[in-house]
Amino acid sequence: MTDLGFIALVLAFVISLYGIAVSLIGARRNLPELVASGRNAIYVVSGLVAIAALLMWRALLTSEFQLEFVYSHTERNLPTLYKFSALWGGQAGSLLFWTLLACILATSATWFFRQQQPSQKPYINSVLLLYIGFFLSLLLFAENPFSRLWRSATGEVITGVFPPTGATAIVPSDGQGLNPQLQNYWMVLHPIGLYLGFVGMTVPFAFAVAALITGQLGNAWIKMIRKWTLVPWLFLSIGILLGSQWAYIELGWGGYWAWDPVENASFLPWLTGTAFIHSIMIQERRGMLKVWNMVLIWLTWELTLIGTFLTRSGVVQSVHSFALSAVGPMFAAFIIATMLGFLALLIWRLPLLKSENQLDAVLSRETSFLTQNVVFVVIMAATFLGTIFPSISELVMGDKVSLNAPYFNRVNGPIFLALLVLMGAAPLLAWRRSAPETLRKNFLAPIIAALVSVPLLFALGNRSVAGFVGIAALFFVFAGIVQEYVRGVRARRQATHETLPVALANLVRRNGRRYGGYIVHVSILLIALGIIGNEFYQSEGQANLAPGESVTVANYTLTYRTLDAVRGPNYTEFRAVMDVARNGRPLGQIIPTKNVYNKNSEQPMTEVGLRPGPIEDVYVVLAGFDNMGATASFKVYVNPLMSWMWAGSLLLIVGVLVSAWPRRSPATAEAARRVPSGAQPIA
């Protein structure tokens, strides 16, 4: 059956090349039949890739260890959930899963836009098939998930789809097991979010390329792909936040983000994608920044490839990057080729991308959005430089010099603060030009809120200057958002005499794009609140304890009671039981654990003991133990406000859904309202 998977990938690759060719020929010669054939090629390729993926899942779930990928990433006792997620636990399988998601997105976009933009359709299809075809080439020529294990005539174990001359098949009785770091439910979900975010950016990029080729560079393509950019951006955001949650509870260092190269690789396209989502509003309203928007969506898509190249080529080292691989040179070639191709198209069409208007004033919403965009790109550039600096230093000086978290925090921290203030200021500014009276009316309440927060925080015991500044900025932005909601609801109630809840619901429903955006901004504030709490107010301590002994951190006293060993399906869990009290008042127990896996005993994994709360988390790490718990070593952190970060993550989803939710235009709604009950449509 697994041979069918390989055959399906070969056929999918050939048909993807066919689809690209007939789409371009059909567009060039105005042959609708060929264009339709190119469109159908997307459906066929997607079906074939789905067959290959299903066969790979079958092999993983049924432990077909003759396949090198199954042998290297599963074992018989591995729980079913992790056998399923093992598909994206290794290089070859994750590339197959990536290709499957790309096909799902391409099929969805092709069907969704089947009756729109007929002149651009063949070029959109060609870009989508080119992207899928590239990943199929990686699977066939660099990392084939259907490679088998063989023993050569000389006794050497080799891999390949077909048996080498004189080789015999090997069918191991058990596999090597999945990387212990990946045996966590957050790591099951985290890659799915990232991959959907990465592959999803191909759709707006394909529309941008088609607009450049056809010369149809008005606002039509921008309006069509806004939601198709917003949804991948949401998945990318969710993927990043799920990864942060995994780091928080699995790695046991008290934090959620370490500016690791793999973390940065996902963060880079998020920055430029966020800039693009904001920037297209200016093009829609004023016909400005057309070149800038083209560059932003190209950068976003290209950075998904560059980040993938960095983590899959062995260029950077990380706890969750892939080893040195043959995919590196192929990725590099594809990145260079697509960069040159897009830049050539952009230069060719520059005369058609002239702005219809200019910035009228410094104090305007357009200027604020543009400044935000520049700040996003500056953060991206600083993060990218810090990520690849070890490779640059090795190339220039012969020695790798890493830039760790202190560099990123000191460089990006102040820039993020400026970005936060701009996020709050932009909605308070008028389009084109803000009159002095408008500035006074819109900024007075937010500025007062920020100023009032300072003595309030001081009275609560805040003594961190950076914390003062950060939280004051949060008060400023939040007060501006509340002000916008209050004004909107007040105006609606005066016009319609609706009750307060009804007016609020209708306000959001009728202008979901604007007020959904405000909800997203509130979610960012909650995430920033968690970051500020963890960064500036964290308390920590550590101790070696015998049963009955205690350690005190901040207001919490933790008393070690016992260590128990519990057998899991493929590991042994060592559970340390601790009593927790705050200011002498018992709160219950907290149980940090350490898992020792049967197949990877040299790599024990930490599962932190966590007592979350709205004010602070109590976070305990079982660092080690002797003589089955006669003594045990613990690290204890008290992390203020971290629960607000995860609450902000949920609110982010709500905000994007409100912003992207389809709604009828006012004209359509009014027409539907006037149709008499029971009326039949005219044939």
Task: Express each pLDDT in 83-107 by its tens digit.
Answer: 999 999 999 999 999 999 999 999 9
**Pair (443, 341) in one structural domain:** no
**What pLDDT does residue 664 have?**
58
Residue 551 is inside which H or E element, if any?
strand 550-553
pLDDT grade for 325, boundaries at 50, 70 and 90: low
**Rounded to an integer, what distance in angstroms lies between the CA atom of residue 156 and that of residue 464?**
62
Q: Can you tell me the mean pLDDT for 341-352?
A: 95
Q: Of 107, 105, 109, 6, whose CA–CA distance to 51 is shortest? A: 6
148-151 and 157-160 strand pairing = antiparallel
Q: DSSP alpha helices (H): ranges in 497-543? A: 500-510, 512-536
Does the structure show a pLDDT above 60 at 303? yes
Among 518, 537, 556, identify where a domain stops: 537
Burial class for 677, CB neighbours closer than 10 Å (0-12, 13-18, 19+): exposed
Query: What percentage of the chain exceeds 90 in pLDDT?
Result: 69
**Pair (411, 440) in one structural domain:** no
Beta partners for residue 556, in sequence order: 553, 582
Q: Is 651 inside any structural domain?
A: no
Q: Is 275 inside any structural domain?
A: yes
**Pair (357, 325) in one structural domain:** yes
**Pair (461, 524) in one structural domain:** yes
**What pLDDT does residue 11 have?**
98
Does the structure show a pLDDT above 90 at 287? no
Among 360, 387, 419, identify where a domain stops: 419
**Pair (520, 593) in one structural domain:** no
Dihedral over Cα of 429, 435, 436, 440: its sign: negative
**Pair (17, 156) in one structural domain:** yes
pLDDT grade for 315, boundaries at 50, 70 and 90: low
Q: Is 272 inside any structural domain?
A: yes
Return the percent helix, strand and coil in the chain, to nearest 5: 65, 10, 25
**Rounded to an integer, what distance in angstroms lies between the CA atom of residue 13 and that of residue 7?**
10
**Pair (65, 166) in one structural domain:** yes
| Domain at 33, CATH number | 1.20.120
Q: Can you tell me the mean pLDDT for 513-535?
A: 93
b/e burial code for range 6-32 (CB count within 10 A of at least 16 → b):
bebbbbbbebbbbbbbbbbebbeeeee
**Pair (397, 324) in one structural domain:** yes
Mean per-residue pLDDT over the chain, rounded:
90
**Pair (137, 245) in one structural domain:** no
**What pLDDT does residue 512 have?**
87
Task: Express each pLDDT in 630-659 by its tens digit.
Answer: 999 999 999 999 999 999 999 999 999 999
pLDDT grade for 70, boundaries at 50, 70 and 90: very high
Neighbours of 282 (CB within 10 A): 24
**Pair (256, 307) in one structural domain:** yes
**What pLDDT does residue 240 have?**
95
Q: Is 75 inside any structural domain?
A: yes
pLDDT grade for 317, boundaries at 50, 70 and 90: low
Q: Is 302 inside any structural domain?
A: yes
Task: Express each pLDDT in 444-499 by its tens digit.
Answer: 999 999 999 888 888 777 778 888 899 999 999 999 999 999 999 999 999 988 89
Among 623, 640, 657, identify where a domain stops: 640
Q: Is 202 inside any structural domain?
A: no
Q: Which residue has the higher pLDDT, 288 or 293?
A: 293
Does the structure show a pLDDT above 50 at 437? yes
Phi, psi torsion values for 79, nearest 5 degrees: -55, 150
**Pair (533, 544) in one structural domain:** no
pTM of the shown model:
0.91
Give the count of domains, the chain. 4
**Pair (48, 153) in one structural domain:** yes
**What pLDDT does residue 313 have?**
73
Which residues constitute the domain of residue 520? 435-537
> Is residue 587 a contact partner of residue 610, using CB atoms and an 8 Å limit?
no
Does the structure show a pLDDT above 70 at 316? no
